[in-house]
């Protein structure tokens, strides 16, 4: 009799387990359908990836989610949570054949030195890979528990939806970029710079954050064209602008303002920080050697820096940067204006202060 009751209990448990699993599966597929519907309404690559992350968090409650998309130069990375950055970076660099971390463009975080980090067991890391005609990406994930067959199906379905949406979005962005990008340097052109500056000013007002701009001009650039020819001058512009972009933060925007003159938007940055960045870039430019045929060309740059004032006037922030650039030229070139001077206080601590002398 006990054996009969035991067998019946096992069968009832198994039946309830099947009913529960079926109900859970149905609920998860309903959630999946809702997320795919929302995903196809998104208007940017970042929003599409964010919707994938929300879907998998909703259904699987992952411990780690990283969406890594291959680009012409490096990769775009969407990461959650940020504390796994260090361990995951080593995997991404190896998997995508990238030489250093400068090739990683984080879409949803800005990282700072000495942030707390955590490692994880790489044996537990799952990854899914999808390659389309104009798109290649990987999803890395640490699940809270082993995935069932239907959970694996859900991941593949949401990624298929994402690949279609991203492919369409990238085609649209490429069409827009063709009208917004300077064909020589790959930076934004002047018209698109003004659009981006307007957006960033609106964002700075809304979030009550700082916004700075720097403008730089290559010194004696006409002499390079006259001495080595215009193809050499074009190569200098391309290599210098590429190096500047590589040494700016994610979210900073560089545009070609005209000729050998460039301008950058620095969100969430005050004037002192902008001047520090400008000076680091000035040094890097002065040390760069551009090889053109048998010639080794060096160049310097002068920088002008400004910060958005309380009136949030787009024309004024550009004019202030241009005025400081003019002062840099008058002060002998290869310099930043306003300049930074160090002041040692009574307690021995160094402070930074701007100087226009």
Residue the block writes with tokens 């009574």: 346
Q: Over its length of 357 residues, how does the chain's per-residue pLDDT go in tens digits?
A: 444 544 545 554 544 445 546 788 888 889 999 998 998 888 888 999 999 999 999 998 999 999 999 887 789 999 999 999 988 999 999 999 888 888 889 998 888 778 888 888 888 899 999 887 778 899 999 988 888 888 888 899 999 999 988 888 888 777 667 778 898 998 999 999 999 999 999 999 998 999 999 999 999 999 999 999 999 999 999 999 999 999 998 789 999 999 999 999 999 999 999 999 999 999 999 999 999 999 999 999 999 999 998 888 899 999 999 999 999 999 999 999 987 655 444 554 455 556 655
For residue 340, the cross-strand partners are 354
Class of domain 190-355: alpha beta
3-state secondary structure of 31: helix
Question: In whole angstroms, what is the distance from residue 269 CA to residue 280 CA?
Answer: 15
Question: In whole angstroms, what is the distance from residue 121 CA to residue 141 CA?
Answer: 12
Taking CA atoms, 337 is separated from 204, 278, 298, 353, in Å, by: 23, 9, 22, 12
Q: What CATH number has the domain spanning 16-180?
A: 3.30.450
Count of alpha carbons within 13 Å of 275, Cβ hemisphere only? 23
Question: In whole angstroms, what is the distance from residue 213 CA to residue 273 CA?
Answer: 11
Answer yes or no: are the C-beta atoms of 75 and 81 closer than 8 Å. Answer: no
Domains of the chain, by residue range, sit at 16-180, 190-355
């Amino acid at each position: 009799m006990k054996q009969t009751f035991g067998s019946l209990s096992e069968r009832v448990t198994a039946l309830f387990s099947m009913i529960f699993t079926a109900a859970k599966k149905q609920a998860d597929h309903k959630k999946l359908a809702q997320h795919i519907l929302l995903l196809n309404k998104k208007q940017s690559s970042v929003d599409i990836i964010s919707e994938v992350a929300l879907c998998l968090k909703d259904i699987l409650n992952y411990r780690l989610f990283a969406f890594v998309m291959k680009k012409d130069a490096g990769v775009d990375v969407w990461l959650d949570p940020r504390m796994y950055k260090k361990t995951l970076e080593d995997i991404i660099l190896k998997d995508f054949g990238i030489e250093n971390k400068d090739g990683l463009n984080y879409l949803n975080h800005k990282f700072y030195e000495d942030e707390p980090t955590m490692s994880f067991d790489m044996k537990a890391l799952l990854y899914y890979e999808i390659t389309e005609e104009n798109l290649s990406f990987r999803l890395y994930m640490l699940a809270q528990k082993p995935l069932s067959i239907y959970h694996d199906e859900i991941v593949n379905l949401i990624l298929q939806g994402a690949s279609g949406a991203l492919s369409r979005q990238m085609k649209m962005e490429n069409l827009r970029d063709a009208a917004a990008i300077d064909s020589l340097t790959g930076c934004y052109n002047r018209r698109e710079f003004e659009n981006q500056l307007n957006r960033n000013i609106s964002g700075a007002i809304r979030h009550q954050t700082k916004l700075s701009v720097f403008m730089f001009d290559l010194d004696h650039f006409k002499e390079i064209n006259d001495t080595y020819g215009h193809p050499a001058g074009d190569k200098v512009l391309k290599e210098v602008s590429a190096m500047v972009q590589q040494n700016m933060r994610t979210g900073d925007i560089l545009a070609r303002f005209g000729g050998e003159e460039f301008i950058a938007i620095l969100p969430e940055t005050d004037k002192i920080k902008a001047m520090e960045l400008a000076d680091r870039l000035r040094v890097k430019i002065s040390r760069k050697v551009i090889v053109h045929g048998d010639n080794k060309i060096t160049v310097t740059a002068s920088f002008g820096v400004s910060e958005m004032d309380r009136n949030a006037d787009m024309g004024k922030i550009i004019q202030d940067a241009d005025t400081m650039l003019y002062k840099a030229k008058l002060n002998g070139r290869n310099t930043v204006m306003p300049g930074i001077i160090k002041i040692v206080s009574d307690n021995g601590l160094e402070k930074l202060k701007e100087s226009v002398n």
